[in-house]
Amino acid sequence: MSMTPTERPEAPKVEPTGPEPHLVKPYGDAMGDGAVQVSFSLPVPLSDESREAARRLAGKMGLTEPQVYHEADLGHGFSYFIVYGKCRHTVDIARIVVPRVAAAPMGFHEIDEFISHRLGRKVRVIGACTGSDAHTVGIDAIMNMKGFAGEYGLERYTNVETLNLGSQVPNDVLLAKALEFRADVVLVSQVVTQKDVHLTNLAELVDMVEAEGIRDRVLMICGGPRITHEVALELGLDAGFGPGTTPTRVASYFAQELERRWKAAGGAPVTR
């Protein structure tokens, strides 16, 4: 192997330039001008008054020189606006620490070889879009053989057994299938997130897995547009991946994390 989990490369440091090298703010036409655009809907018909309301609301958001750039009548008493303005605030990027999934990046063949030689048996992975979520694009990108962004999905791996349950899978059904499949890894995709339904849905799943007494035996991973690793950890899962995640990122993580856990437990659990 060209890299072990303990040899995770450090992310390159970003060194912003300018009079305050670590203070950053948006820019549009000139560096540091703070130019931004915001868009929102208002529950009132389109009119001169609603247009002015949109401009004033942008001002209350903290934007200076707000201007309504685009407006549209959405019908049924609703209107839509795009407002330009200038952000007066900065952030110190040097003080930002973002939790990341700790795993050395590996390629398709490297992961398959790692599982074969380091884990000693095939890894069983079950995945689903749970709750009311009917969008399979995320789970399919990771699991389907065709994969995503030029990478093969988990179904293509010789040493990974997969079961993709698809969309709108109730948590209790996912749990039952995971037990039947003797899953090592549970992947959950959450695309539908209105009213933060993804948070309650994921928290419920974790509670159900813990109540079943198998939490220490399965690796729980979630992904989606509003998922971060920090959110996943707060909800009780093991890892979270955001938009644009490729199959090798997920597979690199669960292969290395399973090895760490199985070594600590004295070996891989028997699956049959």
Clarify whether residues 132 and 51 are in a common domain: no
| 105-124 pLDDT per residue, tens | 999 999 999 999 999 999 99
Of 63, 91, 119, at which residue does a domain stop? Answer: 91
Rg over CA atoms, the chain? 23
Answer whether residue 144 is part of any domain: yes
Q: Could you list the residue range(s) of the whole structural domain that residue 48 is in?
A: 23-91
| 205-214 pLDDT per residue, tens | 999 999 999 9
Answer whether residue 12 is part of any domain: no
Q: How confident is the model at residue 197 (pLDDT cuts 50, 70, 90)?
A: confident
User: Other CB atoms closer than 10 Å to residue 158's CB: what's the count?
Assistant: 10
Clarify whether residues 74 and 129 are in a common domain: no
| 6-54 pLDDT per residue, tens | 444 444 455 555 556 689 999 999 998 999 999 999 999 999 999 999 9
82: helix, strand or coil: strand
Clarify whether residues 85 and 114 are in a common domain: no
Answer whether residue 6 is part of any domain: no
Clarify whether residues 33 and 158 are in a common domain: no
CATH for 42: 3.30.30.60
Answer whether residue 52 is part of any domain: yes
Clarify whether residues 128 and 242 are in a common domain: yes
Is the whole-model pTM more than 0.85? no
Clarify whether residues 170 and 230 are in a common domain: yes
Answer whether residue 243 is part of any domain: yes
Inter-residue contact 197 to 132 (CB < 8 Å): yes
- Residue 5 pLDDT: 43
Residue 81 structure tokens: 């606006």
Of 34, 58, 91, at which residue does a domain stop? Answer: 91
Clarify whether residues 123 and 64 are in a common domain: no
Clarify whether residues 248 and 130 are in a common domain: yes
Clarify whether residues 37 and 149 are in a common domain: no
- What are the DSSP E strand ranges found in 96-201? 123-129, 160-164, 185-189
Of 91, 117, 150, at which residue does a domain stop? Answer: 91
CATH for 172: 3.40.50.280
Clarify whether residues 125 and 152 are in a common domain: yes
Mean pLDDT score, 99-110: 92
Q: How many domains does the chain have?
A: 2
CA distances from 105 to 11, 110, 153, 219, 246 (A): 12, 10, 16, 18, 11
Answer whether residue 96 is part of any domain: no
Taking 60 as the threshold, does the pLDDT of residue 87 lie above it?
A: yes
User: Known catalytic residues?
Assistant: 146
Answer whether residue 231 is part of any domain: yes
Clarify whether residues 136 and 211 are in a common domain: yes
Clarify whether residues 68 and 153 are in a common domain: no
Residue 194 structure tokens: 């209105």
Answer whether residue 226 is part of any domain: yes
